[in-house]
Amino acid sequence: MVVTRFAPSPTGYLHIGGLRTALFSYLWAKKNGGKFVLRIEDTDKARNSQEATEAILKAFEWLGLKHDGEIEYQSKRDDIYAKYIKQLLDEGKAYKCYMSKDELAELRETQMANKQRTMYDGRYRDFDGTPPEGVEPVIRIKAPQSGEIVVHDGVKGDISFQAEDILDDFIIARADGSPTYNFVVAIDDALMGINEVIRGDDHLSNTPKQIVVYEALGFDIPKFYHVPMIHNSQGKKLSKRDGATDVMAYKEMGYTPQALLNFLVRLGWSHGDQEIFSMDEMIELFDPKDINKSASIYNTEKLDWLNSHYIKNTPNDELAELLVEYGLTLTSHDKKEILLDALKERAKTLKEMASLAKEILTTPTSYDEKAVKKAYKGNAIEILNNFGAKLSAKDEIHLPSEYHHLMEEVITEMEVGFGKIGQPLRIALLGKMGGVGLDIVMAVIGKEETMLRIANAISANS
RNA sequence: GGCCCCGUCGUCUAGCGGUUAGGAUCCAUGGUUUUCAUCCAUGUUACAGGAGUUCGAUUCUCCUCGGGGUCACCA
């Protein structure tokens, strides 16, 4: 069975990059009928927060990503880590190092001055004398000092590291006894049965260290897939400084989960020329072997396109429900079908859609000056009056086509072009140029409101 | 700086020795539209550079250049 995981550290909101690896992991587990584990890596007490964990969960909920089983918290697993630390100590695979932080810093400076690589010199590796007073030791693991470590990566291929280039006896437990990252990930992944690790390739250089832990403990090494980073427009790793990286900000901006997920799945992964993927298709077609080797630059042009695509293809009932979040309640509006049909063709986001709807539904209180100047000349008022009179005479009028017909009657009778009625009427109804078809606007707001707006405009602009 | 990874249109990407280098997005133009948008059509734009290997390289190898990641008692 394929078991994947997403293992964020709760230091902030869920960001775009994390979501993408989470999505990949999720899809791969689902495709294989496996499990997708969510593990909160909260070993750094100073930087973690409960709110951050909740923010991540909230984002998952919005996107419809469900983890399998209970959420695992590393902070609750101290005794497990302690057990393995003791085991390594007993087996002589790890040891106590009494070097102080100051000494370490000093060593590092010397090495830097000599242009050597900075690494622990192993001075306590085989120490059996009397430990210095007043220093709480850290625990270091005995890492191989020579030889080759090969990471079999499903995205990048086999990558080999020379132990002497990158390894030293790294710390697995701090002076206060708490275990460190590279130690606990390996243990957790092994114990939780995670056999396919999909994560950002910023972890690639950590992997040899984790392999050292796997081997010291005799655990099976999982299959790794290191996904290239998402870069900002400067070509650097995407960070919080780059603006909208918080997943929930996309909800606020009016993007749908589908669009965001579809956008993200295509960032660094592809399936031929296909651009649109439903969740089912993603699950069916996703395969980490098709993940790109190179980093991609984050750019929301395509997200906008996808979002409008999904808005166009969302049933109106569903749209009406989604729009409530954006301050638009029209579940009981009798013309909501007409309104939504017109709006979904032009809005790029749900937020935009809501504000467009509000513009239509609200009686204009002011008129765009330039547009008025242009439209209210000649016999514009006369035309409006004519139209108003014809509308007033109608007992029953509901459909856009009926309003359209009425407009046609006016232009035929007065021998003018469509623009002669369209422009002044548009300003009367909406206060400005541009926007939804007038017949639709009138059908949505109804006869009374239409007549009111025409009267308002005539008195304000004649 | 050491180590590691990467390099096809502006962007997301297809390509896996022989293609007029394809699609999408963006942009531009035209058509449709009372307006704006949608929609449709058309168009501009790419194999980082240099050596090899080969009958033939975007594709394989090496070098250069460029970009990125990582080097913590953070995760």
ipTM metric: 0.96
Whether A152 CB is under 7 Å from strand B: no
What pLDDT is attached to residue A199? Answer: 97
Reported confidence tier of residue A44, pLDDT bands at 50, 70, 90? confident
Instruction: Work out if A131's Cβ lies within 7 angstroms of strand B.
Output: no
Band (pLDDT 50/70/90 cuts) for residue A332 is confident
Q: Provide the pLDDT confidence category of residue A357 given band limits of 50, 70 and 90.
A: very high
Q: Enumerate the domain spans of chain A.
A: 3-68+230-297, 77-227, 316-461
Give residue A303's pLDDT: 97
The string of pLDDT tens digits covering residues A428-449 is 999 998 899 999 999 999 999 9
Chain A window 367-406: residues with CB closer than 7 Å to nucleic chain B are none
Task: For residue A31, indicate whether it is catalytic.
Answer: no
The gap between A87 CA and B70 C1' (Å) is: 30
Question: Which A residues between 208 and 267 have a beta carbon under 7 A from any strand B atom?
Answer: 228-229, 231, 234-237, 266-267
Catalytic pick from A66, A76, A83, A240? Answer: A240
pLDDT confidence of residue A45: 75
Query: Each residue of A271-298: pLDDT tens digit?
Result: 999 999 999 999 999 999 999 999 999 9
CA of A36 to C1' of B10 (A): 37
Phi-psi region of A435 (alpha: psi -120 to 50; beta: other; left: phi over 0): left
Instruction: Tell me whether the CATH fold assigned to A3-68+230-297 matches the one assigned to A77-227.
Output: yes
Please compute the mean of the pLDDT values over residues A386-413 and round it to a whole number.
Answer: 93
Q: Is the pLDDT of residue A94 over 90?
A: yes
Q: How far is the CA of A455 from the C1' of B29 (A)?
A: 41
Class of domain A3-68+230-297: alpha beta
Asked if the model's pLDDT at residue A370 lies above 90, the reply is: no
d(CA A327, CA A358): 9
Strand order in the sheet with A138-141: A94-97, A138-141, A171-173
Distance A125 CA to B4 C1' (A): 27
Rounded average pLDDT over A239-264: 92
- Is the pLDDT at A48 greater than 90, yes or no? no
Residue A121 beta carbon within 7 A of nucleic strand B: no
Report, in ranges, which bases of strand B sit under 7 Å from a protein C-beta: 1-8, 10-14, 22-26, 33-38, 67-75
Of the pLDDT bands very low, low, confident and very high (cuts 50, 70, 90), residue A83 is very high
Cβ pair A368, A431 in contact under 8 A: yes
User: pLDDT tens for residues A6-19?
Assistant: 999 998 899 999 99
Residue A222: count of CB within 10 angstroms of its CB: 19
pLDDT score of A450 more than 80: yes
**Mean pLDDT of chain A, nearest integer:** 94
CATH numeric code, A77-227: 3.40.50.620
A316-461 fold: Arc Repressor Mutant, subunit A (1.10.10)
- H-helix or E-strand containing A56? helix A50-63
pLDDT at A253: 96
pLDDT digits (tens, 9 = 90+) for A213-243: 999 999 999 999 999 999 998 888 888 778 7
Q: What is the DSSP letter of A223?
A: E
Of residues 312 to 371 in chain A, which lie within 7 A of strand B by their beta carbon? 312, 345-346
CA distances (Å), origin A86, targets A44, A80, A81, A91, A96: 21, 10, 9, 8, 11
Q: What is the pLDDT of residue A244?
A: 74
Q: Residue A325's pLDDT is what?
A: 95
Residue A377 in this model has a pLDDT that exceeds 90:
no
Q: Which of residues 273-312 of A touch strand B (CB under 7 A)?
A: 273, 275, 290, 292-297, 299, 301-302, 304-305, 308, 312
Nucleotide minimizing C1' to CA distance for residue A208: B4
Distance A351 CA to B10 C1' (A): 28
Q: Kindly state the DSSP code that residue A363 receives in the 8-state scheme.
A: P
CB A94 within 8 A of CB A85: yes
